[in-house]
């Protein structure tokens, strides 16, 4: 039997389009053009999911959402809104909506969100919570909340993704500390946020701290806070991350980078659930769930003396491994489409999808930077795209030519094997007349070493592009898909100066 979806929208065209689209995808669809009719249809139709506009002619989204949840508390509700205001998102999510979709509507995004909502067990759907007034007047309303905008991450439908999903589903309702392992850019913070969103602390703050981005001297102050005058530069009182996360979840990313002496203080706070600001004489009780993340195994770091073993055991009540993107090929294009839809929304563009050549390049590329790299590639390509599809010419050169770079014969000149990037706006200007190349002594590479062969290919490729753009480094960096600083560093390491 087909799953039932009720669409409520006062725009007749949107209703008809959604009914046609969803019916083609195997759903049984009923439509209503106002809130009263929608609620009446709800009792007779008994849908598996409701898709409703936030602003109807006779009532707003909060009102209709509350009445839907009162009658059918376990039916997921998706809100369509034309407003990007964060308060709208916070409001509907706190009132129990599963997610929200912003206009303009994109079929793939709608279908993906609907399938995700329908695939979840009914206990994921949270009943109505605190009011909007409580949220907007709360002193912690500026913190990162689980009930804020939809996460910039999706779990996917492949076997690896489903295993990850099951682990998140299992541990979220508990109060366990969680260790999240994964490569850089694989979405560890998004997994932590998803655990928080599904936990009993979902209405509390979600506070994230990147331990690798904070200097050794400031780490303790960031975690525990400090009193005014407690050290040089402490001009005002500072509230630490533990206090900010009170009643919610504290996420400590790259925990292995935390200084060893701060780990000692952290162990005490974790054990006693009390924190004392630097320079303070009063202990404050904190109720915080801790989720930590690392790109290396903490037990191995502990054995090397880099991480306290007792602290590791405190955190390791449950562990989750986030698979790298290269192991999630089945979900590759779903992630790509997700990032494309988000970028379209940010840039106000309407790029619909990817050319066949781009899809092939994506599938062949190993994505060493994982989801973060994919997001940045798609943001760049969307910005450069002038049509309705992302074309190969907008991709970074090393991504498009990865397979040829990887298998380049050491004895084969890179310029002969790899054609230069197309001379086409807006990548870079047409090639200028070839000029003398004031290059330092060419780096010497070991011809039998694969890594050295790759370096030689990189050397030749950078030099070739520099010649094409008459040694304009800004244009060369854009053509290579890197920033100027990275280009300068590569030129320096390859002894390629001009």
pLDDT surpassing 70 at residue 435:
no
Q: What is the mean pLDDT of residues 216-235?
A: 80
pLDDT at 148: 37
pLDDT surpassing 90 at residue 321:
yes
As a whole number of angstroms, the distance between CA 173 and CA 189 comes to 18
β-sheet bridge partners, residue 208? 251
159-321 shares its CATH topology with 328-389: no
Q: Could you please report the per-residue DSSP string of 271-302? A: HH-EE--BT----EE---EEEEEESS-HHHHH
Name the most confidently modeled range: 90-104, 313-327, 479-493: 313-327
- Look at 180-184, 271-275, 324-328, 403-407 and tell me which has the smallest mean pLDDT: 403-407
pLDDT at 425: 41
- Please, which pLDDT band fits residue 74 given cuts at 50, 70 and 90? confident
Peptide bond into 384 cis (omega under 30): no
Q: Could you please report the per-residue DSSP string of 6-61? A: EEE-S-HHHHHHHHHHHHHTT-EEEEESSHHHHHHHHHHH--SEEEEESB-SSSBH
- Look at 96-110, 196-210, 355-369 and tell me which has the smallest mean pLDDT: 96-110
pLDDT at 496: 72
Asked if residues 490 and 407 have their Cβ atoms less than 8 Å apart, the reply is no
Structural domain boundaries of the chain?
4-137, 159-321, 328-389, 396-498
pLDDT at 424: 41
Report helix, strand or coil for 409: coil
Per-residue model confidence as pLDDT tens digits over 271-300: 888 888 888 888 888 899 999 999 889 999
321 versus 151: the higher-pLDDT residue is 321
pLDDT at 121: 53
- Please, which pLDDT band fits residue 417 given cuts at 50, 70 and 90? very low
- Please, which pLDDT band fits residue 21 given cuts at 50, 70 and 90? very high
pLDDT surpassing 60 at residue 182:
yes
Does domain 396-498 correspond to CATH entry 1.10.1060.10? no
Name the burial class of residue 132, with classes exposed (0-12), middle (13-18) and buried (19+) by CB atoms within 10 angstroms of its CB. middle
Per-residue model confidence as pLDDT tens digits over 390-412: 999 999 887 877 765 554 444 44
Burial 166-182 (b: 16+ CB within 10 A, else e): ebbbebbeeebbbbbbb
Q: What is the mean pLDDT of residues 435-462?
A: 58
Greatest Cα-to-Cα distance within the chain, rounded to the nearest angstrom: 80
Query: What's the N-to-C CA distance of the chain in angstroms?
Result: 69
pLDDT surpassing 60 at residue 7:
yes
* Fold adopted by 4-137: Rossmann fold (3.40.50)
Contacts 24+ apart (CB under 8 A), 395-403: 395/358, 395/361, 395/481, 396/480, 396/481, 396/482, 397/421, 397/461, 397/465, 397/479, 397/480, 397/481, 398/480, 398/481, 399/361, 399/365, 399/481, 400/361, 402/361, 402/364, 402/365, 402/366, 403/364
Name the burial class of residue 129, with classes exposed (0-12), middle (13-18) and buried (19+) by CB atoms within 10 angstroms of its CB. middle
Residue 248's alpha-carbon distances to 88, 226, 484, in angstroms, are: 21, 21, 41
pLDDT at 290: 94
Asked if residues 167 and 119 have their Cβ atoms less than 8 Å apart, the reply is no
pLDDT at 90: 60
pLDDT surpassing 70 at residue 155:
no
Pairing of strands 178-181, 318-321: parallel
Q: What percent of the chain has pLDDT over 90?
A: 23
pLDDT at 134: 33
Q: Which two tokens stand for residue 51?
A: 């898709």
Which segments of 28-158 does DSSP mark as H helices, in order?
Answer: 35-45, 61-71, 86-94, 107-118, 132-137
- Look at 8-12, 58-62, 178-182, 294-298 and tell me which has the smallest mean pLDDT: 58-62
pLDDT at 169: 87
Q: What is the mean pLDDT of residues 304-320?
A: 90
pLDDT at 135: 32
Residues in the chain: 498
Query: Average model confidence (pLDDT) for the chain?
Result: 78
- State the architecture of 328-389 in CATH terms: Orthogonal Bundle (1.10)
Radius of gyration of the chain (CA): 26
Instruction: Give the containing element (helix H, strand E) for 480.
Output: helix 473-480
Q: Which two tokens stand for residue 282?
A: 């009063």
Residue 242's alpha-carbon distances to 58, 112, 266, 290, 422, in angstroms, are: 44, 36, 10, 9, 52
How many other C-beta atoms lie within 10 A of the C-beta of residue 63? 14
- Please, which pLDDT band fits residue 478 given cuts at 50, 70 and 90? confident
Does domain 159-321 correspond to CATH entry 3.40.50.300? yes
DSSP character for 365? -
- Please, which pLDDT band fits residue 482 given cuts at 50, 70 and 90? confident
β-sheet bridge partners, residue 50? 6, 77
pLDDT surpassing 50 at residue 429:
no
Name the most confidently modeled range: 97-106, 109-118, 385-394: 385-394
pLDDT surpassing 60 at residue 330:
yes
């Amino acid at each position: 039997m087909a799953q039932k979806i009720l669409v409520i929208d006062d725009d007749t065209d949107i209703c008809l389009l959604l009914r046609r689209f969803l019916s083609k995808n195997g759903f049984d669809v009923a439509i209503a053009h106002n809130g009263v009719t929608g609620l009446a249809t709800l009792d007779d139709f008994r849908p598996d999911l409701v898709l409703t506009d936030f602003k109807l002619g006779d009532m707003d989204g909060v009102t209709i959402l509350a009445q839907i949840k009162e009658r059918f508390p376990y039916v997921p509700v998706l809100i369509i809104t034309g407003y990007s205001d964060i308060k709208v998102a916070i409001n509907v999510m706190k009132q129990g909506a599963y997610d929200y979709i912003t206009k303009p509507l994109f079929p793939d995004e709608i279908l993906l969100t609907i399938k995700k909502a329908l695939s979840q067990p009914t206990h994921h759907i949270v009943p109505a919570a605190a009011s909007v007034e409580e949220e907007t007047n709360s002193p912690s309303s500026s913190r990162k909340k689980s009930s804020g905008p939809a996460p910039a991450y999706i779990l996917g439908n492949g076997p690896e993704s489903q295993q990850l999903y099951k682990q998140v589903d299992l541990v979220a309702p508990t109060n366990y500390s969680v260790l999240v392992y994964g490569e850089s850019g694989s979405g560890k913070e998004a997994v932590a946020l998803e655990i928080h969103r599904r936990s009993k602390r979902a209405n509390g703050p979600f506070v994230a701290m990147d331990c690798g981005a904070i200097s050794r001297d400031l780490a303790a102050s960031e975690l525990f806070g400090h009193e005014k005058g407690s050290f040089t530069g402490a001009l005002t009182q500072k509230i630490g991350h533990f206090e900010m996360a009170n009643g919610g979840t504290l996420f400590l990313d790259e925990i292995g980078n935390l200084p060893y002496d701060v780990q000692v203080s952290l162990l005490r706070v974790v054990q006693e659930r009390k924190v004392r600001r630097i320079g303070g004489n009063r202990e404050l009780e904190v109720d915080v769930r801790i989720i930590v993340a690392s790109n290396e195994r903490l037990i191995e770091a502990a054995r090397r003396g880099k991480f306290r073993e007792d602290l590791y055991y405190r955190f390791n009540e449950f562990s989750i491994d986030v698979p790298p993107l290269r192991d999630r090929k089945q979900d590759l294009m779903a992630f790509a489409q997700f990032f494309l839809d988000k970028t379209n929304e940010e840039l106000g563009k309407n790029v619909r999808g990817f050319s066949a050549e781009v899809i092939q390049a994506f599938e062949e590329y190993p994505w060493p930077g994982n989801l973060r790299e994919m997001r940045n590639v798609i943001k760049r390509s969307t910005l450069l795209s002038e049509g309705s599809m992302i074309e190969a010419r907008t991709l970074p050169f090393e991504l498009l030519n990865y397979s040829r770079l990887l298998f380049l014969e050491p004895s084969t000149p890179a310029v002969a094997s790899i054609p230069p990037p197309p001379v086409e706006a807006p990548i870079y200007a047409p090639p200028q007349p070839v000029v003398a190349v004031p290059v330092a002594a060419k780096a010497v590479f070991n011809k039998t070493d694969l890594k050295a062969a790759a370096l030689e290919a990189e050397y030749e490729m950078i030099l070739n592009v520099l010649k094409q753009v008459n040694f304009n480094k800004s244009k060369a960096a854009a053509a290579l898909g890197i920033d100027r600083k990275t280009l300068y560093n590569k030129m320096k390491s390859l002894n390629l100066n001009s």
